[in-house]
Amino acid sequence: MHPLDNPIWESLASRHSPLALGRDGVLRYPAEIAPFLGVREPDLKVDTALHELVAPGEETLVIGPLPQAPEGWTLEPLFGLVQMECPEPLPEVPGPTIIELGAEHLADIHELVALVYPHYFRPRTTQLGRYFGIYLDGRLAAMAGERMGPAGFREISAVCTHPDFLGRGLARRLMAWLSNDLIEGGLRPFLHVSPTNQRALDLYERNGYRLRARLPFHRLLRPA
C-alpha cells in the first residue's frame, strides 16, 4: 500500500509517533490535537483497543483503510476525499511578508480558523507542524500549515484567508511558498480537500497540485 493511501496510520507510525495513542494495529491523535484515527491494514478487529482509545459519545475520522466497527458503533461514509500532491516546485507568488506563527500568535490563529476553517482544528493542532501566516493591518489575514507526515511526505493544511482579505492572492502565495520549502527539504507536499469545495480545488490546481487519489473518508462514532 502506498503511504498516502493510509496517511493517518503512516503519519502516526512515523513522524507523529511521539503523539500517537494506541496499540494492536490502531493509532489515533489525542482528541485535543486532531480527530483522526488510523489502522495498519483494512478490516482489523480491534474492539478492545478502540474501546480504550475512543470515549463514549466521541466521533473520530478515518481516511483510507477501515477497522471492523465494534457492535453498536456507527461507521458512516462521508464522501470520497480528494487527495492532491505537488510533483515539482511552483512559481513564486509575490506579495506581503510571510512569517512563522508561534505561541504568541495562537489567539489570532484560533480566531481565524474559528471563522473560516472550524471543522478539524483543535486547541493543540499547531503541535502537528509548522504554521505560517501573513499579517495585514495588524490582523492575521491568511495562514497555512503542516499536518500529517508519512515518511517522505508532508500534508499542507488549514489554508485559509480572512473574508476581509479575499482576492489578494494571499492563499496562493502561502501555498507556493510552503510547497517549495517542503520540496527543497526533500519532501513531497500533499493535501486533502472535499470534492464539493470547488474554490479550494481550483486554487490548488492553479498552484500546480494534481489529483493523486480519491480516498474513503468515514466517521466512526462510539455510542454514548
Same domain for 133 and 22: no
Same domain for 173 and 64: no
Claim: this prediction has a pTM higher than 0.85: yes
Same domain for 61 and 25: yes
Domain count of the fold of the chain: 2
Nearest to 170 by CA among 139, 126, 124: 139
List pLDDT tens digits, range 47-58.
Answer: 999 999 999 999
**Euclidean distance between CA atoms 60 and 36, whole angstroms:** 6
Looking at residue 29, its amino acid is Y
Q: What's the rounded mean pLDDT across residues 152-169?
A: 96
Of 152-156, 164-168, 195-199, which gets the smallest average pLDDT? 195-199
pLDDT at 118 over 80: no
Structural element, H or E, at residue 222: none
Of 42-46, 93-97, 172-176, 198-202, which gets the smallest average pLDDT? 198-202
Same domain for 176 and 136: yes
Same domain for 93 and 31: no
**Euclidean distance between CA atoms 58 and 37, whole angstroms:** 12
User: What is the four-CA torsion angle of 164, 166, 167, 169, rounded to 10 degrees?
Assistant: 120
Same domain for 107 and 49: no
pLDDT band at 199 (very low <50, low <70, confident <90, very high): confident
Structural domain including 54 reads: 3-79+217-221
